[in-house]
Amino acid sequence: MTTPELSNVHPAWLAPAALRALGSRRVLVCGEGPLVETVADEVERACARFGGTAIRRLAPSAGGEADADLVLTLTATDRGLGDEGFELARVGGASVVRADRPAGLLYGFFEILRLGGAPAFTDALPVGAQRPALGRRMADHWDNVAVHPVMGQVERGYAGGSIFWRDGRLREDLSRVGAYARLLAACGINAVAVNNVNVHQAEAHLLTDRLDDVRKLAELFRPYGIRVHLSVNFAAPLSLGALPTADPLDPAVRAWWAETTEQVYALIPDFGGYLVKADSEGQPGPFAYGRTHAEGANMLADALAPFGGVVHWRAFVYNHRQDWRDRSTDRARAAHDHFAPLDGAFRDNAILQVKHGPMDFQTREPVSPVIAAMPRTRLAVEVQATQEYTGQQRHVCYLAPQWSEVLGFRPWGEAGASVADVARGQSRDGYPDGDGGGLVVVSNVGDDRFWTGHPLAQANLYAFGRLAWNPAAEPAAILDEWIGLTFPGDGEDDPDPAGPARLRAALHAMMDESWQTYENYTAPLGVGFMVRPNHHYGPDVDGYEYTPWGTYHFADREGIGVDRTSATGTGFASQYPKPWSEVYEALDQCPDELLLFFHHVSYGHRLHSGESVVQHIYDTHFAGAEQAHAIREHWHAVADLDLVPADLRERVDERLDEQVRCAEEWRDQINAYFYRKSGVPDAHRRIIH
């Protein structure tokens, strides 16, 4: 199956050795349907490679026949496993994967791969049913069809060009997309948006005269249970339909969307739906016609409804031309101000897609208050694997701990629902559990041979899929799973049997707390945005301070932080329900890590930790840079092991050097800046100025 396009591509978490345990056995695949064929093909290929026997039967099996070591079968009668669930069992010395529907069988197959040798084929098999907690597990690509003069081929992409598009066209060799679909299914992702939310003219045409490109992509994703979605431009009726307006209440506009959508489904019957960024950062939207965002979203929802499609409507709406001298406007408030009043006004097939924080994928933000404000709306939560503000895939920054924290956050207090529950749809009256908007990730993948630029950044995409399947999963356990699959070693053939374990321990030590490390050496205490403008890499404390983007820290000689309290600030804190509104409003209750997000305080202000704000800044920045060194040392300490391909080692070496350099740059700029602003010396006299 290796095409020239694929020959040089890293297998990521589907390393051939991970297939060995299955491929050397007798494996029976039973059932009918396209996704069952996918499983059968996978089994056949693995068996051909590792000497096993693949047996195929169309009728369901009860398990335990044909001397099979493993039976993968659709059930004869429904066992309540749902569309994507599966069940593992041991029957007469064989392992059995049962699923009511083909997608469940596919996920069961990948579970067996994950378990590897002994656990999958012995009584150590973890028997029982598994179902995804979230029905929608989506990857959004910010890929441009044509190279954008400023943003390039992939907006905020740090892994080369697009795997779909090149120079304004669909790529000719799409074998890479098939390999990608397989990787996504293997971590549980079931939806993909194939173009940037900023829909420029070249991309807009995908909806109409370039639709065949989308069909070709859908054909590659379909065998892996993944539906394709398209970002569309709200003004398409003007630019593509030659109508005089895009007003969502105009009958001609509505008819244009209905007809256009019908044509989409005629070509791609399982098309997932539309993704829309409207009235945001220059994108057109319903405000131009005096309409609400519910009216805009509902128009598209109505066009999609007859075909079972959904519209993902983004809540990332704010004024990016604000007056930085005016302290009363607050970008953090914007999504809640715009959308909370619209709760209950959206159609059932409209999903409001909310960034996890109120600002923009910063290293540390509170959870967006919109998530708790719209109990009658289907909400999806959006996170960012592409590391725009978290080291741009030059720094190791394993983000699952951040996402896990977001998903576990309980906006109504300990007794209430969590963010994961909201994304699942558990809190909505009258709708089945699991029908929520789900979880969305901005993909970190490009045409780089390691997929993600930094090879270790693959872990973020993998972890996203696993958390969307089970938001309660432990990030550290997911990390170990990813490490085991990606760096499986040679098993019994390893010359140094302790080697793989040493390598895995080193990778774990490098990655497990790398988000915390990144936070330590960058923007302190939740303040965010101290990055260089435009590209967002490296430190620039005042880079955004006097700009119209709404991203300020308000540092002066007395203190720092944004007053978002109701009494004296922007009132953002009151957008949360109790208890969090009270916690965030109160200086003495606000968690240290979010202090500067909610309060403007003096440099001498004492944190709960007992440290002063400015000393905390110094200490964390010295510690963070040291931790970056330690990450590199862990890697160097396993340099003697011959377990990592030379090109991967080289790439990681080069990125770690850059991480260390950049962490020191951050440390020195941040510390010098706050020393000069505050005049408060470092208690340990480390600052060079």
Catalytically annotated residues: 281, 360, 388
Q: Work out whether 360 is an interface residue with ligand GCU (CB under 6 A).
A: yes
Choose between 203 and 360: whose C-beta lies nearer to ligand GCU. 360
Choose between 487 and 597: whose C-beta lies nearer to ligand GCU. 597
Burial profile 162-198: b = 16 or more Cβ within 10 angstroms, e = fewer = bbbbbeeebbeebbbbbbbbbbbbbbbbbbbbbbbbb
Phi then psi for residue 646, to 5 deg, are -60, -40
Minimum gap (Å) between residue 277 Cβ and ligand GCU: 5
Choose between 365 and 585: whose C-beta lies nearer to ligand GCU. 365
> Of all helices (H) and strands (E), which one includes residue 584?
helix 580-585
Judged by CB under 6 A, the chain residues 186 through 215 that form the site for ligand GCU are 197-198
Minimum gap (Å) between residue 142 Cβ and ligand GCU: 7
DSSP state of 366: P
Strand 227-231, strand 191-193: pairing? parallel
Tokens of 464: 């996203």
Single out the residue of 589, 454, 449 nearest to residue 510, CA to CA: 454
Judged by CB under 6 A, the chain residues 146 through 175 that form the site for ligand GCU are 155-156
Minimum gap (Å) between residue 198 Cβ and ligand GCU: 5
DSSP state of 535: T
Judged by CB under 6 A, the chain residues 590 through 649 that form the site for ligand GCU are none
What is the size of the binding site for ligand GCU (CB under 6 A)? 9
Minimum gap (Å) between residue 533 Cβ and ligand GCU: 11
Minimum gap (Å) between residue 264 Cβ and ligand GCU: 23
Choose between 104 and 357: whose C-beta lies nearer to ligand GCU. 357
Choose between 442 and 473: whose C-beta lies nearer to ligand GCU. 442
Question: Rounded to whole angstroms, how far apart are CA atoms 109 and 114?
Answer: 9
Judged by CB under 6 A, the chain residues 217 through 276 that form the site for ligand GCU are none
Minimum gap (Å) between residue 66 Cβ and ligand GCU: 52
Q: Binder to ligand GCU among 121, 221, 316, 515 (CB under 6 A)? A: 316
Cα-trace Rg, the chain: 25
Judged by CB under 6 A, the chain residues 367 through 406 that form the site for ligand GCU are 388
Choose between 9 and 442: whose C-beta lies nearer to ligand GCU. 442
> What is the residue type of 469?
W
Give the chain's length.
689
Question: Rounded to whole angstroms, how far apart are CA atoms 284 and 278?
Answer: 5
Handedness of CA 579, 362, 476, 134 (dihedral sign): positive
Minimum gap (Å) between residue 364 Cβ and ligand GCU: 17
Tokens of 8: 């040089």
Choose between 231 and 377: whose C-beta lies nearer to ligand GCU. 231
Question: Rounded to whole angstroms, how far apart are CA atoms 140 and 440?
Answer: 7
Burial profile 365-377: b = 16 or more Cβ within 10 angstroms, e = fewer = bbbbbbbbbbeeb
Choose between 316 and 675: whose C-beta lies nearer to ligand GCU. 316
Q: Binder to ligand GCU among 277, 394, 466, 600 (CB under 6 A)? A: 277
Choose between 96 and 275: whose C-beta lies nearer to ligand GCU. 275
Tokens of 457: 């950044």
Question: Rounded to whole angstroms, how far apart are CA atoms 659 and 632?
Answer: 9
Question: Rounded to whole angstroms, how far apart are CA atoms 45 and 25?
Answer: 12
Minimum gap (Å) between residue 35 Cβ and ligand GCU: 32
Choose between 198 and 575: whose C-beta lies nearer to ligand GCU. 198
Q: To which residue do tokens 């009151």 refer?
A: 574
Minimum gap (Å) between residue 482 Cβ and ligand GCU: 26
Minimum gap (Å) between residue 571 Cβ and ligand GCU: 23
73-81: Cβ within 8 A, 24+ apart: 73/28, 73/29, 73/30, 73/31, 73/97, 73/98, 73/99, 73/105, 74/30, 74/31, 74/32, 74/33, 74/36, 74/98, 74/99, 74/100, 74/101, 74/102, 74/105, 75/99, 75/100, 79/129, 81/129, 81/131
Question: Rounded to whole angstroms, how far apart are CA atoms 548 and 531?
Answer: 15
Question: Which residues does 453 contact at the CB level (< 8 Å), separation at least 6?
Answer: 158, 159, 160, 393, 394, 444, 446, 655
**What does the per-residue mask of binding to ligand GCU show for 490-529, with x meaning CB under 6 A?**
----------------------------------------
Tokens of 133: 């907690």
**What does the per-residue mask of binding to ligand GCU show for 76-115, with x meaning CB under 6 A?**
----------------------------------------
Phi then psi for residue 21, to 5 deg, are -55, -45
Choose between 389 and 675: whose C-beta lies nearer to ligand GCU. 389
Minimum gap (Å) between residue 522 Cβ and ligand GCU: 16
Judged by CB under 6 A, the chain residues 22 through 81 that form the site for ligand GCU are none
Residues at the interface with ligand GCU (CB under 6 A)? 155-156, 197-198, 277, 281, 316, 360, 388
